[in-house]
Amino acid sequence: MERAWLVLALVAVCVLAGYGLYRGWRHRADRQAGIGELPGVPDTVGPDLAAPVTGIYVSTTTAGNWQDRIVARGLGRRAKATVGLTGDGVLIDRVGEEPIFIPAADLSAAGTAPGIAGKVMGLPAGLLVITWRLDGMAVDSGIRADDPQVQASWIDAANELIGGPPVTDPATGEARRQGTGKQWSTGMTPTSPGNAAVLVLEDGRVYSGTGFGATGTAFGEAVFTTGMTGYQETLTDPSYRRQVVVATAPQIGNTGWVAGDGAGRGNGPDNPSDNESPEIWVAGYVIRDLAPRPSNYRATTSLPAEMEHQGVVGISGVDTRALTRHLRSAGAMRCGIFSGPALEGVLRSGGQPAGSVIAGLVAQVRAQPSMAGADLTGEVTTAAAYVVPADGPELYSVAAIDLGIKANTPRMLAARGIRTHVLPATASIADIEKLGVDGVFLSNGPGDPATADALVELTRAILERRIPLFGICFGNQILGRALGFGTFKLKFGHRGINQPVRDHTTGRVLVTAHNHGFAVDAPLDEVVDTDFGQARVAFSCLNDGVVEGLECLDRPAFSVQFHPEAAAGPHDAGYLFGRFVELMDTAKLQVGR
């Protein structure tokens, strides 16, 4: 009897699977049924603009989506082909199949990608991908070229024909391609394959991929973050100043970019912004797979469009898992992303650059300053003080020293009835006392805490006056130095939103958000005598034992290395803002005695 039920279950599974495949086939067939005839091949065409590319025509898919093969009009059939380029357009002459002619006015872009039609090709120079418009739909046609050098020259000539990246038409305000007159929607266009790009590490390792965002060169410290969500909050976090961020999440960009100013009642601009600051602070962005288009009703634009708008260089198609393993073993290091004109020497070498070409790129990377000894606070702090009012009745006021503060911090304080005076990093103890605040907050920020002597002296003055103090991230390191502890640079740092930390007071384990490459050097299980009484480590990381927080036993002050204000989550540590309120409650009672 059991065997009969098992057979019936297997049959049911097979039937359901077959039905699913049939439905998928029908859905694709129905969706592609409206595709008209392919453009006719002209009787005569102009002279070749580049040597023809020979190779294998792989397939045509919807733009940026490797899985969605176009089967209509024979576009999904693999065949040997020759790809010619003239002033009239592109002719893909397939052996045994109908030729594909793409008029110049329908061309969008030419570039490389690691694969198409659901397959990763693993080609050193990438797969030739031509993006064009077919009956109003953006599609990609892929060719596996025989000669990478011919492919590179062909791509250069094709993009010259197309006219380069989109520009804004001053008459209409719409984005269009130069030289074609073809109109493009702004911001939310599907992602098309960009130009070739490489990531070069200071130890000489090179990772090839496809550029997105701005075209050019970006230098910084290569670091990886393990968060599966919240890339917009990461990119706009000032703590990432002068760092090239490697995302370990396999796909980035699927939620677009949310930068509205509404109350969250509708689509796009009607929603509040997800930015942690008004601009992107990362030096560059390295990802595995770029989502072809946003899928988020709150999005106001796409990730590549926003990065291009702000001049931030990115590279996709990189094996970020291999890169992360290398950074974990070798440590965070300087790097550079090269695309566009900066990569011309590599492209001319046909994807197999000579040692001298790579040596030149490595030399540029090694000429960049190290993060050790970097004083970056002045680059990210506010130029002028501003106030964020409390939500509802005001209970306390706090001076927040902006060392690279994130937007969610004042919001978290406001939700607890606190008015926040955000002050520049140059604020003095006299500035704080003049405000008559009930507490002081030291924010997160970038750079080496060993360079922040003025902030250490300010913190010592706050401790001397027994003003309640709460520090986060860089603020934790500043408090540590004020108490007499040293700081040091971690091998590869902690970055992500899934780091386990133990609260030594309660024994509770918190899942926390981290972004730090430096740490405080203090004993984990000892009470230490300092200039301000006794202090101890209050939090530590369960992964490696790194100090994640400090607590003064004779002063109203504590700090954490992680981020209880993390907007993308997790929110396990949000209660620490309540602990700050309790410090001010206690201080108020003592004054009233």
Of 340 and 536, more confident: 536
The pLDDT-based confidence of 350 (bands split at 50, 70, 90) is very low
Lowest average pLDDT, out of 96-100, 455-459, 515-519, goes to: 96-100
C-alpha to C-alpha distance for 160 and 99, rounded to whole angstroms: 23
514 bridge partner residues: 496
Whether pTM > 0.85 for this model: the answer is no
Class of domain 196-366: alpha beta
Q: Which residue type occupies 321?
A: R
What are the tens digits of pLDDT across the range 393-417?
999 999 999 999 999 999 999 999 9
DSSP one-letter code for 268: G
Residue 68 has what pLDDT? Answer: 67
The pLDDT-based confidence of 369 (bands split at 50, 70, 90) is very high
What are the tens digits of pLDDT across the range 237-282?
999 999 999 999 999 999 999 998 877 666 667 778 899 999 999 9
* In the predicted structure, residue 215 carries a pLDDT above the cut 90: yes
Q: Give the phi and the psi of residue 22 in degrees, each rounded to 5.
A: -65, -45
Mean pLDDT of all residues in 38-59: 82
The pLDDT-based confidence of 335 (bands split at 50, 70, 90) is very high
Residue 461 has what pLDDT? Answer: 97
The pLDDT-based confidence of 75 (bands split at 50, 70, 90) is confident
| Cβ-proximal residues to 69 (8 Å cutoff; 6+ apart), any chain | 59, 60, 61, 76, 117, 118
Average pLDDT, the chain: 85
175-177 and 183-184 beta bridge pairing:
antiparallel
225 bridge partner residues: 247
Q: What tokens were used for 5?
A: 């039920």
Residue 435 has what pLDDT? Answer: 97
Class of domain 53-169: mainly beta
Rg (Cα) of the chain, in Å, rounded?
A: 28
C-alpha to C-alpha distance for 515 and 499, rounded to whole angstroms: 10
C-alpha to C-alpha distance for 253 and 499, rounded to whole angstroms: 23
In the set 276, 308, 551, 565, the catalytic residue is 565
Domains of the chain: which residue ranges?
53-169, 196-366, 377-592
Highest-confidence segment of 38-42, 148-152, 437-441: 437-441
Mean pLDDT of all residues in 99-118: 79
Question: Are the CB atoms for 485 and 522 separated by under 8 Å?
Answer: yes
Q: Which residue type occupies 140?
A: D
Residue 566 has what pLDDT? Answer: 84
pLDDT above 70: percentage of residues in the chain: 83
User: Is 473 an active-site residue?
Assistant: yes
Of 40 and 246, more confident: 246
What are the tens digits of pLDDT across the range 427-444?
999 999 999 999 999 999
In the set 335, 473, 541, 552, the catalytic residue is 473
133 bridge partner residues: 138
Residue 18 has what pLDDT? Answer: 67
C-alpha to C-alpha distance for 67 and 117, rounded to whole angstroms: 5
Question: What SS3 class is residue 571?
Answer: coil
Q: Which of 484, 475, 483, 422 is nearest to 449 (CA)?
A: 475
Q: What tokens were used for 432?
A: 């704080």
Q: How far is CA 86 from CA 64, 106, 178, 190, in A?
A: 25, 13, 17, 26
Residue 402 has what pLDDT? Answer: 97
| DSSP H or E stretch at residue 420 | strand 418-423
CATH architecture of 377-592: 3-Layer(aba) Sandwich (3.40)
User: Is 565 an active-site residue?
Assistant: yes
User: Is 563 an active-site residue?
Assistant: yes
Q: What is the dihedral of CA 253, 301, 388, 391, to 10 degrees?
A: -80
C-alpha to C-alpha distance for 468 and 556, rounded to whole angstroms: 5
Mean pLDDT of all residues in 331-352: 76
* In the predicted structure, residue 458 carries a pLDDT above the cut 60: yes
* In the predicted structure, residue 171 carries a pLDDT above the cut 50: no
Q: Give the phi and the psi of residue 209 in degrees, each rounded to 5.
A: -175, -155
Mean pLDDT of all residues in 297-312: 93
